[in-house]
Structures are given as C-alpha cells and as structure tokens.
Amino acid sequence: MNRLREDFHREFMTFFERAERTRRWNIFNDVPWERLEESPRDERLALCAETFCGVEMYLPDYLRAHLELMRGDYGRAWFAANWGYEEAKHSLALREYLHRSQQRTEGQLHDFAESVLARQWIPPYDDGRQMTVYGSLQERTTFVVYRKQRELAQKLGDSVLAEIYRFISRDEMAHSRFYERMLLLHLDEDREGTLADIAHVLRTFRMPAADLLSGYDERIAVMRTAGIDRRVFLLEVIGPMLRALGLTRHDLPGPGRERGLWSPKKDVSP
C-alpha cells in the first residue's frame, strides 16, 4: 500500500507539472469576451451552458466525498484539490458567459443556484477504487459532451462559447487520463479486484444531473440535439477508456462480457 501511495504521488506530480506548463487558462484574459457582440443568442446553447454550470455547482459535495475517501493518500488528495480548482473555473466561466451575453440576469442566476444547492449530491460508491473508475467515466463523458457542444456552438456561430468549451474539454480529458493512470496502477497491484470494480461501475454508471437538476427531462432533450446518445457513450467513452487501460470487454468478469453492459439503459448525459 505504501508503494501504491508513492506511485499515486508521482503520477500526480506529473499531472500537475503538465497542467502548470501547458494547460492553465484565465477566465478573464483568455476567453475572447470582446466577440460576444458578434455571437448569436440561442436558447439551446444557453440552456445547456446553464445545465453544465448547475452540475458544477455541487463542487463542495464532490470535494468532500473525494477527500473523505482519499484520506491518508496525499497524492490523490492533492489531485482532488487541483480538480476542484479547475471545476470551479468551469462553472465560473459558464456563469460569466450567461451573464455577459445577457441570456441570464444576475437574479436568474442566483435563483438557479439556490434551487440547485437545495439538493445534496451523494457519491454513488463508498469505495475509493470504484470512485476512481466512476471518475474516469464521468470525466470522459463530460469531455465528449463538451466537445459536441463546442461543435454545435461553432456551427451556430458562437465563437465565445466554443472557446470556453475548448478550454473546459481539455481539462476534462486531462482529468480522465489521470484517473486512468490510477487504474493502471490498481491493475498492477490487484488485477482481479480492479477488473471486478470496473465491470461493476460500468454496469451501474449514472451521471449526477438526473438526480440533482430540476427540469432535467427538458434539459436532456435539448442536449441530445448535439448528438449525445447511448451509441456515443459506447463508442466514444467506454471503448476509449478500456483501450487506455489495455483492456477489452472480454477481460471483464460477469455480465460485462455480455450484451447488457454494451447497451446501457441509464441516461449518460451530465
């Protein structure tokens, strides 16, 4: 276990060094806010941006769960702190976009925040390794969602929102890759147990927004217009994650090897 903690720490330092050198961005200086006057006002884009902003508002709940599960593991605890900083920036950037583009007033944004924070996010698993699998899946899913939304924003001519999504999706992929590095270390230490955890989380995976945001059905219907569905989840989330781990579906125990895992019944949008 001490060796594993040391490996986690080394992976975090690699992640952090790369983030500091190549990936840091500034909400106020790097987002081309001056182009907002040229950008269209599209309620589909605004509703999706508001939805993502709302999901990110549960940051205190996310962080508390991460830090409690990773207590005593300083490498992953420091990753959680770094992750929290970056996720907070995502929420703030989207909020600034909605306000500066005059698609939401300050009052509407405050009311939305109050309605969101009236609920509490409960982690879906109480095991650190299973939450690492969940983290990898969740971050890859949000990467794909943000990439699709960026493509839609570009198509509709909103270059400001497209650039925000470019910054955010880059962060999300970096987070997913860090979790995958953690899982590779777990596979080296306990392959059978880690494979069982991967299979379990894949069978039971569910993104948080369905249980947290009001008007979820309306929001998800709009989000699907950007091309988010179960097939995308299979081809662009599960498949790449397994390949990054050097696995195929045949490596997974139980029902994961059969058809059930590859036709997820639960909604996979944020």
Given this model, what pLDDT does residue 256 score? 45
199 pLDDT tier (thresholds 50, 70, 90): very high
In contact, 104 and 185? CB cutoff 8 Å: no
225 pLDDT tier (thresholds 50, 70, 90): low
pLDDT tens, position by position, 9-41: 999 999 999 999 999 999 999 999 999 998 899
Q: Which of 109, 140, 255, 122 is nearest to 196 (CA)?
A: 255
DSSP code at position 57: T
**Element holding 250 (H helix, E strand):** none
For residue 58, give the amino acid letter: Y
Q: Which of 21, 216, 23 is nearest to 119 (CA)?
A: 216
Quote the pTM value.
0.88
**Lookup: tokens for 56:** 């990110």
Q: All domains of the chain, ordered by start, with CATH?
A: 2-262 (1.10.620.20)
> Helix 59-69 and helix 128-156: axis angle, to 10°?
150
For 155, other C-beta atoms within 10 Å of its C-beta total 10
Given this model, what pLDDT does residue 180 score? 97
> Helix 43-56 and helix 74-100: axis angle, to 10°?
150
266 pLDDT tier (thresholds 50, 70, 90): very low
214 pLDDT tier (thresholds 50, 70, 90): low
Output the average pLDDT for the chain: 87
Q: Where are the beta strands (DSSP E) in 40-179?
A: none
Is the pLDDT at 212 greater than 70, yes or no?
A: no
Is the pLDDT at 90 greater than 50, yes or no?
A: yes
Given this model, what pLDDT does residue 258 score? 44
Q: Which of 30-34, 66-70, 98-102 has the lowest mean pLDDT?
A: 66-70
Q: What does the pLDDT average to over 137-146?
A: 92
DSSP code at position 131: H
Q: What does the pLDDT average to over 156-162?
A: 96
